[in-house]
Structure 1
Amino acid sequence: MLNDSTVTANVPASDIDRARTFYADMLGLTPSDENAGGLVYTTAGGTSFFLYPTEYAGQAGHTIAQWHVSSVDDEVRELKAKGLQFEHYDMPGVTWDGDVARMEGMGSAAWFKDSEGNIMCLDDAPTG
């Protein structure tokens, strides 16, 4: 049943070419597949997301995808060097160390918006 399935995130893009450039130049990602509906990205970790064109991109007021990384600090430093801007949110129990949020018992996280206004997250929270 569903427990044995994989899940793919769907990420909206109002301008698929602009989004492709952002994901390539800023995040270092290359589509693993391309079809009439959009672009598929597959990570070395075995997960994937589908970037598809729609006029409704960037309208979600919440995180739509998150990357579980070994070091949020290192990723933020690398992405900031490429010019990526990070978001800061007022959340209870969170302390900020520059662009990195520290959350007791949950690890660290950092949020940014992609070229389409979608909120993305980097975190080092345990996944299992």
Structure 2
Amino acid sequence: MNTNNRDILAGASTATRLPAQDLDRARRFYSEKLGLDPVDELPGGLLYRCAGTDFVLFRSTGASSGTFTQMAWEVDDIEHVVAELTRRGVVFEDVDLPGLLGGGHTSNGIAEIDGNYPSKGARGERGAWFRDSEGNMLGIGQLVF
């Protein structure tokens, strides 16, 4: 293996790892609130798959700070997803940050973010955030073209 290549990781897949102090509680949250069930599990963690990408909840004695987005789903209809998750009991964060349109805060749980970061040719995105049962900050995003 040639370790001098700059693109050594470019062909590797990525997977998010989220800490969970209580895997049973986390499993219930992801199943009941998000409609997700693990595709594989070991005593130390749960593997989830969404649209061909993986994320893992792993048993941890530490907790996430929950002060930043740790993982997000990209959706086509953010209003529908936020409404359905709210119906299931997910509580969305009221975010008030510089750079958000509409006065820098969320409206009905959704923020307008212009030019947030390079996003597949989009000019920005609409976003919403919530915490899972373990305090991990998760997001829902819809690209704006």
Same fold (TM over 0.5): yes
Q: Aligned equivalents of 1:24 and 1:78: distance in 2? A: 14
Matching residue's letter, 2:90:
L
CA RMSD of aligned residues (A): 1.3
Count of residues in correspondence between the two structures: 125
Amino acid at match of 1:8: A
User: Does 1 or 2 have the higher relative contact order (CA < 8 Å, sep 6+)?
Assistant: 1
**1:37 shift after superposition:** 2.2
**2:45 counterpart residue number:** 38
Match of 2:108 in 1: 98
Unpaired stretches in structure 2, ≥5 consecutive residues: 1-7, 115-122
Q: What is the CA deviation profile of residues 8-48 of structure 1, one whole-angstrom value per residue up to 9, with x for unaligned ones?
A: 100100110000000000000010110132100011x1111
Aligned sequence identity (%):
37
**1:85 lines up with 2:91 in the alignment:** yes
Gaps of 5+ in 1: none
What is the TM-score of this pair, normalised by structure 1? 0.91
Q: Which stretches of structure 1, 4 residues or more, deviate above 3 A after TM superposition? A: none
Match of 1:115 in 2: 133
TM-score relative to the length of structure 2? 0.81
